[in-house]
Every structure is written in C-alpha cells, then in structure tokens.
Structure 1
Amino acid sequence: MKIVFNTDQIHLHGGIEKVMATKVNFWANLPDVEVFIVTTEQHNLPPRYPLDERVRLVDFGVNYDRGTSYFSFENLKKAWQHYKRQKQLFADLQPDVIISPNFNFDHYWLPFIKQKAKLIKERHGSRFYEVTQRKNISFIKKLRFKINDWIEKKYDAIVVLNPDEASYVKTNNAVVIPNPVKISNLLADISAKKVVAAGRISPVKNFADLIKAWGFVYQEFPDWQLDIYGEDYLGTQTKLEQQIEEAGLQNVIHFKGSTENMLELMSQYSIYAMTSETECFPMVLLEALSIGLPIVSYDCPNGPRHIIDNGEDGILVKHKNVEALATELKTMMRNPAERQRIQKLAKHNYLHFTTTEVMKQWQTLLNLPNV
C-alpha cells in the first residue's frame, strides 16, 4: 500500500507537522506499506520532527507567496505548476491513500486527480465560528460555502478530531479520530513555582487573557513565574510585551521562544495554562497529561473538553472569564495536594490517546490490519 500525505511544509513547529510525523513513522514500520510526504514549499530545509528513514519526501518547490492573496496573479501561476506536478506524481505513484491535513489550493482539485486512491481530508482547526459565518451572508459568500461543501462531499472521509467538529461537516462523511500522543516516562515537577503556556504567539492563542489573569495571580503569588513558549506571528509578541510592561509584570512573565524539547521543558513546571480563542484538539494538552502536568484551561470551542475530564485530570474554566481563570490558577497554586491528585489521574487518563490506541482507528479507516 502507498500512502501519500499532501501538505505545504514540514520544517516549522506545529501540531499538524508533529501529528503527521507520528502517523507516517507508524505506517513506515508496517510491512508492505510505503509512505510519502509531498510538500509545496520545503525550501530544502530538514523536517522539524524526526522521520523514519523509509519515509520518502517529495517537494514540488512551488513556493507560494504567503504574504499576498492566494488569488494573486503570481500565486495563481504557481497553482498551475502545483496542479501539473501533482497530477503527474499521482499518475506515476498510483497511491492507494491520499491524506490532506490542511487547506491548500489542491483541496479543490484533489478529488479530480486522485486516480483510484482513497481520499481523506483532515480538519485540524475548529469550524465553530463557521456556523455563524454561514448565516445572513451575501450571495457570493454563500456560493463559496456551497462549492466547498460540494468539493468535500467528493472526499471519501473528512477526519475531525472530536464529536463537536463532526457536527460542522455538511457532507455526511465525517469520521472522528483524535490526535495521538506518545507514551512518556517523564513526570512534571509539581513543586515548582512556575506555570507554562505554549503555542504560536498569535491572536488565536489569546495569551492576552492569560497575562490579564496573571495580574490577579501576582497579588497573592509574587514569587511564581509564567513562561510562554512559541514562535512570534506577525508581531503579536511585541504587543503582548507592551501589555506585560504596562501591568508591571515584566519580572515574572517571560517569552522563551520555540524549542525542540517542549515535553522535557514542560516537566519542569507545576501547572499548564491555556486561554485560546478556539482549539480543535490541542496536542500540547495531550502532552501535558502524558507527564502528569495539571492543566487549567478555558473551555474554548471545542477541543479541551474532549481531552480534560473537568475536576479530575484538569480544570476547565468558562471561556474568556479572566477572573475565573485567575481564581482557578490560584487555587491550584496554593494546593500542592490537589496538584498531586490531578497528576496521578492525568498519567492514567491519557492512555486512551496513545499512538497505539489512536492508530487502531486509522488502520480501520484505511483497511489495514491492526498491529
């Protein structure tokens, strides 16, 4: 069997890239399975996450200009090159499965050039706000949604990460398969007076609310630190640093940049905090559970509630309630026995998200034998 992943790149940090690496490495170890990752803009850079040497990499070198509209003249020319190269590759490879884990130009033409392959679209982002966007819209926007629905109907499966997201698929081909996480022997240091948050430093991660909450936390716990890991996106970090300085928190809140060993670093912390606008199925929460790191998270749409058992292996806070978030953080900080209780449950409850368990569902979808 030949399995092909289509994506833009695999050289940046990200949940899609990390999960893809886990899947392809699993399949590369199966007998009679060949795995390919096909990119459009790898720029001769190495993969961010380790890949099995048997995984074959193909880069078209299309290199879309991400700083301009997808439909600019230059990007449309590149899309034609992309289409021709992809069509030829599929003709040569004759893949059995094609998986598209993100949204790109080829979303629209994959159903028409897939040969005989089973075609699967993965949705890694939440469509929560799309429900509102589909209401009271112009004819043009309504037409765009209808075209997208028509295209998605031609996919054999739309894989979503939780049951809430399945309700947003309009084409009756949704399959729910969560993200997998590797088994970890690490254990978080719940005695540390440090809280950690991580993710791309962008508006959707809403670190601004976490900084506001820390203003309340600081009044009672001035000796605790908040560290935020992640790459800056479009200058968002500068705005957040200004917010921190205006609140007088520059000595206790620190941006730590991106890192190759996030799991090891998280084990040095006592609490994980999340304040995102939306999260579909955040890998970082799975990883926090895997090392027994207590979590305090917004109950944002729609991922955290499908990972955290509220009050058992973490705490869910009403979305965008900054004061409630601060209250729960302070409760967790002043109660080491509660952190220890949650840690034990987290180390147990994450096991149904392990690679072995999740890949059984993928094996069923692809008609591969379970191992």
Structure 2
Amino acid sequence: MKIAYITDQLYLHGGAERVLTNKVNYLANLEDMTIFIITNEQKKNKFCYDIDSKVKHLDINLIYKRDRSYFSILNIVKAPIHFYKLKSLLNKIKPDVIITLSSQYDYYFLPFIVNKTLIIKEFHSSRHYYQQDRANCSKLKGFVYKLNDFVERKYTYNVLLTDDEKKYFKSNNTIVIPNFLIDIPKSFSSLTNKKAISAGRIAPVKGFENLIIAWKIVFEKNKEWIIEVYGNGEKKYVEKLNNLIISLGLDNNFFIKEATHQIEQKMQEASFYVMSSLTECFPMVLLESMSNGLPIISFNCPNGPKNIVSHNNDGLLIEDGNVEKLALAILNMIENEEMRKNFSKNGTLNVKRYNKQTIMKKWLHLFGYKNLIL
C-alpha cells in the first residue's frame, strides 16, 4: 500500500509537524507499506523532527507569501504551477491513499485531480473563530466559505481531532481520530524546581501576552519562580513580547527561548505547564507535558484543552481569557506541592488512552489496510 502525505513544510517546530512525523514513522515500519511525504516549500531545510529513512520525501519547490491571503494576486498566480507539479507527481507515484494537512491550493483541487484513490483532509486547528467570522463576513468571503464546504464534500473523509469540531462542518463525511503519544517517558518531573514551562509557535493565537501579564501578578507575590517559553516565531513579534517582559520588570523571571529538540528534558526540569492560547484543537503539547508528569494550567479555550485535561484531576481549566484567574491558578499550583503530585500521578495515567497502537488502528482501518491486526 502506498500512502502519500501532503503538507507545506517539515522544518518548523509545531504540533502538526510532530504528529505527522509520529504517524509516518509508525507506518513506514509496517509490512507492505510505502510512505511518501510531499512538501512544497521545504527549502532544502532539515526536518525539525527525526523521520525514518524508509519514508520518501519529495518537494515541488513552490513558495507562497505567508503574510498574504492565498487568494492574493502574488499567491494565486502560483496555483496553476502547483496544480501541474502536484498532479504530475501523484500520477507518477500512484498512491492508494492521499492525506493532506495543507490549506493551500492543493486543498481545493486535490479531490479533482486523482481517480480511484482514498482522499483524506486532516484538520489540526479549531474552527471556532472561523465559524464566528463566517456568521458576519462579507459576501466575497462568504463565497470562499461556501467553496470550502463544496470542496470538503468531495473528500472521502474529513478527519477531525474532537467531536466538538463536527458542528462546524457542512458535510457528512467527518470522522474523529485524536492524536497519539509516541511513548510514555521512563522518568518524570520531580515537581520541585521553581520553574514553569510553556511551548509552541510564538504567534498571537498562543496568547503569550496574557501569560506575561499573568506572570506579573504572580511575580508581585512570588519572585522566586520563573517560566520558560520554548518556540519560534516572527522576529518582530518575538521582540514585541520581549519588550513587554522588560517593561513589566520580568526579564529575570520570564524567558522566551528558541524551540528545542530537548523539550522532554525541559519539561522534566519544570514543575507544571501553562497554556494561554486563544484557541486550540487538540494540543499535543498537553499530552506530552502530562506524559512527563507535569500538572496543567490552561485557559478553557475553544475547543481543545477540555478534551485532554480533567479539571481538578490532572490540571486546572481557567475561564477563557481571564488573566487574573490564570495568575491565581499559577499561584495556587506554586503553593500546593501536594496538588502538583496528585495531578501529576493522575495525568500520567490519563494520557495512556492516547497510545499509538489504539489511535493508529483507527487510521489503518480507515485506509483499508489488509494486514490490520485487531
């Protein structure tokens, strides 16, 4: 069986990139499986995560302006080239299953350029704000949303991460398959270091401004604890956050650091994880944190954290966007070591439901893999 995954790139650290890496590494070692990854703007960069040498990587070398709409003139003129290159490549390798993570032009034309092939669209972000915008958008943008509906009906399946996301889709071909943990670590955080951690793409949607402001409230009552945030983002935006940190006098307590391959080690050096995102779908970083023994503090943002974190069992879910309550929850976690230990124990047990065998069995069933062992 030949399976082709399509995405824009695999050199930037992120949840979708980590999930795709885990999947292809698993599939590449199954009997009678040939796995391809097709990118369009890898730019000869190394993969951000280790990918099995049996996985075949192909890049069509087509770079879009990420700061512009895909419907802008600068981007739309590249659509015919994208169409031709991708169609030619797929005709050459003839995959049995095609899965796209992309939201670029291939998302729109993929169902129309292949025949007798299982075509799947994977969604890795929540449509909560998408739906809000759709309710109040212009006629032109409304047309784009209707176009999305039409295209999504043409896929064999649209695979979502949570049941909550189903209500945002107009098609009846949606299936829910959550992400999985590759392994449960053999060691865990001691929960004694006076350090918290957060991680992710350094972008406005991650709400790090709110986390910085919340930490200022924490700092006024406890100056011993620090927080480290690991991730990459646009230079100007990172500078903006660092300027906010300095202006609040937190430059010795709040640190934004480059994304790291040693994130598991960094998690085990911390005593809890904080998420301040405006929206999430199924944040892998929460699974990874809990598997390393970290209690979680997170805004109860749409729609992901509540599907992973159990309030007052393995973490604390905070009223969405309430910075003061976020700060109070952090202080509560800092001051209550026994609570940290209980949350840690419960979390390491709860994440076992997302083991790779259980989740990948769902994917193999969807693919119609003949050697599926139940």
TM-score grouping bracket, smaller chain normalisation: over 0.9
- Residue 354 of structure 1 and its aligned partner are, at CA, apart by 1.7
Distance 1:162 1:279 in 2: 11
Partner of 2:225: 224
Q: Supply the AA of the counterpart residue of 2:252.
A: N
- Aligned residue for 2:30, secondary structure, equals coil
Q: Contact between 1:153 and 1:173, CA under 8 Å: does it hold in 2?
A: yes
1:338-364 Cα offsets, whole Å, 9 max, x none, are 111111111111001121221111112
Distance 1:319 1:111 in 2: 37
- Residue 67 of structure 1 and its aligned partner are, at CA, apart by 4.2
Q: Contact between 2:200 and 2:230, CA under 8 Å: does it hold in 1?
A: yes
Distance 1:219 1:82 in 2: 54
Q: Contact between 1:91 and 1:115, CA under 8 Å: does it hold in 2?
A: no
Q: Contact between 1:363 and 1:370, CA under 8 Å: does it hold in 2?
A: no
- Residue 134 of structure 1 and its aligned partner are, at CA, apart by 2.0
Q: Contact between 2:123 and 2:159, CA under 8 Å: does it hold in 1?
A: yes
Partner of 1:159: 159
- Aligned residue for 2:238, secondary structure, equals helix
Distance 2:199 2:363 in 1: 28
Q: Contact between 1:188 and 1:268, CA under 8 Å: does it hold in 2?
A: yes
Distance 1:140 1:78, change over 3 A: closer
Identity over aligned residues, as a percent? 41
- Whether 2:333 is the aligned partner of 1:332: answer yes
Partner of 1:347: 348
Aligned ranges 1:165-204 → 2 under 5 Å? 165-183=165-183, 184-204=185-205
Q: Contact between 2:70 and 2:104, CA under 8 Å: does it hold in 1?
A: no
Distance 2:225 2:324 in 1: 18
TM-score if structure 1 supplies the norm length? 0.97
Distance 2:67 2:248 in 1: 33
- Aligned residue for 1:255, secondary structure, equals strand
- Aligned residue for 1:41, secondary structure, equals coil
- Whether 2:212 is the aligned partner of 1:211: answer yes
- Aligned residue for 1:109, secondary structure, equals helix
Q: Supply the AA of the counterpart residue of 2:311.
A: N
- Whether 2:245 is the aligned partner of 1:244: answer yes
Distance 1:17 1:232 in 2: 15
Q: Contact between 2:298 and 2:317, CA under 8 Å: does it hold in 1?
A: yes
Q: Mind listing any 5+ residue stretches in structure 2 that lack a counterpart?
A: none
Distance 2:138 2:131 in 1: 15
Q: Supply the AA of the counterpart residue of 1:182.
A: I
- Whether 2:12 is the aligned partner of 1:12: answer yes
Distance 1:217 1:246 in 2: 16
Aligned ranges 1:23-172 → 2 under 5 Å? 23-172=23-172
Distance 1:251 1:54, change over 3 A: same
Distance 1:182 1:337 in 2: 29
Aligned ranges 1:301-340 → 2 under 5 Å? 301-340=302-341
Q: Contact between 1:178 and 1:281, CA under 8 Å: does it hold in 2?
A: yes
Q: Contact between 2:273 and 2:295, CA under 8 Å: does it hold in 1?
A: yes
Distance 1:241 1:152, change over 3 A: same
Number of aligned residue pairs: give it. 371
- Residue 71 of structure 1 and its aligned partner are, at CA, apart by 3.5
Partner of 1:285: 286
Q: Supply the AA of the counterpart residue of 1:37.
A: I
Distance 1:132 1:255 in 2: 31
- Aligned residue for 1:3, secondary structure, equals strand
Q: Mind listing any 5+ residue stretches in structure 1 that lack a counterpart?
A: none
Segment of structure 1 superposing worse, 243-252 or 94-103: 243-252
- Residue 69 of structure 1 and its aligned partner are, at CA, apart by 4.2
- Residue 47 of structure 1 and its aligned partner are, at CA, apart by 1.3
- Residue 68 of structure 1 and its aligned partner are, at CA, apart by 4.1
- Aligned residue for 1:159, secondary structure, equals strand
Q: Contact between 1:266 and 1:288, CA under 8 Å: does it hold in 2?
A: yes
Segment of structure 1 superposing worse, 11-20 or 138-147: 138-147
Distance 1:370 1:327 in 2: 48
1:135-177 Cα offsets, whole Å, 9 max, x none, are 2433222221111100000001111111111221111111111
Instruction: Kindly report the root-mean-square deviation, in angstroms, between the aligned alpha carbons of the 2 structures.
Output: 1.4
Q: Contact between 2:41 and 2:59, CA under 8 Å: does it hold in 1?
A: yes
Q: Supply the AA of the counterpart residue of 2:6.
A: N
- Residue 95 of structure 1 and its aligned partner are, at CA, apart by 1.0
- Residue 247 of structure 1 and its aligned partner are, at CA, apart by 1.5
- Residue 82 of structure 1 and its aligned partner are, at CA, apart by 1.6
- Residue 72 of structure 1 and its aligned partner are, at CA, apart by 4.3
Q: Supply the AA of the counterpart residue of 2:250.
A: L
